[in-house]
């Protein structure tokens, strides 16, 4: 019964992740490609150098991934809690539940550290290359 619930939960989480990824990829984004009437002297065309867009794109991607990973970690912690509550004192089931919670917390910590590293590296390129 627990395995059936876990399979359904894993399927639901995977489905939500695919849906959110599809929605993020297919969402329209304004490109603001209209031509400006004012061209600076010495410039051959309008537009920006592309620096801030790359940084903001990286930050957006990492924010989305961190949100998804946080959501999955919370679901895993809840599943581990349910497994622990219904373990009925069985040592094997209790250990599996504790391991599920532990691995979810470790995964969340690793995701937060990865976000911090990516933000630091992306911030160091803010001034340009």
pLDDT at 79 (0 to 100): 93
Residue 56 lies in a domain: yes
Residue 125 lies in a domain: yes
Residue 97 lies in a domain: yes
pLDDT at 38 over 80: no
* Residue 59 contacts residue 119 (beta carbons within 8 Å): yes
pLDDT at 101 over 70: yes
Residue 59 lies in a domain: yes
* CA–CA separation, 62 and 73 (whole Å): 16
pLDDT at 37 (0 to 100): 62
Helix (H) or strand (E) holding 16, with range, is helix 2-26
Residue 114 lies in a domain: yes
Report the chain's mean pLDDT, rounded to a whole number.
Answer: 79
Interval 42-79: pLDDT, tens = 665 555 554 557 677 777 888 888 889 989 999 999 99
pLDDT at 121 (0 to 100): 80
Residue 98 lies in a domain: yes
Work out whether the CA dihedral 51, 56, 62, 68 comes out positive or negative.
negative
User: Which residue is it, tokens 């849906």?
Assistant: 19
* CA–CA separation, 45 and 26 (whole Å): 29
* Number of domains present in the structure of the chain: 1
Burial of 42 (0-12, 13-18, 19+ CB in 10 A): exposed
pLDDT at 52 (0 to 100): 59
pTM: 0.53
Residue 105 lies in a domain: yes
Residue 15 lies in a domain: no
3-class DSSP state of 90: coil
| Domain interval for residue 63 | 51-129
């Amino acid at each position: 019964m627990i395995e059936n619930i876990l399979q359904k939960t894993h399927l639901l989480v995977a489905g939500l992740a695919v849906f959110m990824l599809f929605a993020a990829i297919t969402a329209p984004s304004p490109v603001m490609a209209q031509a400006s009437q004012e061209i600076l002297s010495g410039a051959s065309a309008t537009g920006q150098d592309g620096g801030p867009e790359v940084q903001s794109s990286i930050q957006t991607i990492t924010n989305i991934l961190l949100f998804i990973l946080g959501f999955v970690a919370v679901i895993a912690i809840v599943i581990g809690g349910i497994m622990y509550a219904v373990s009925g004192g069985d040592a094997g089931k209790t250990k599996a539940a504790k391991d599920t919670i532990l691995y979810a917390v470790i995964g969340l910590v690793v995701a937060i550290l990865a976000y911090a590293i990516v933000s630091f590296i992306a911030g160091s390129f803010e001034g340009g290359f």
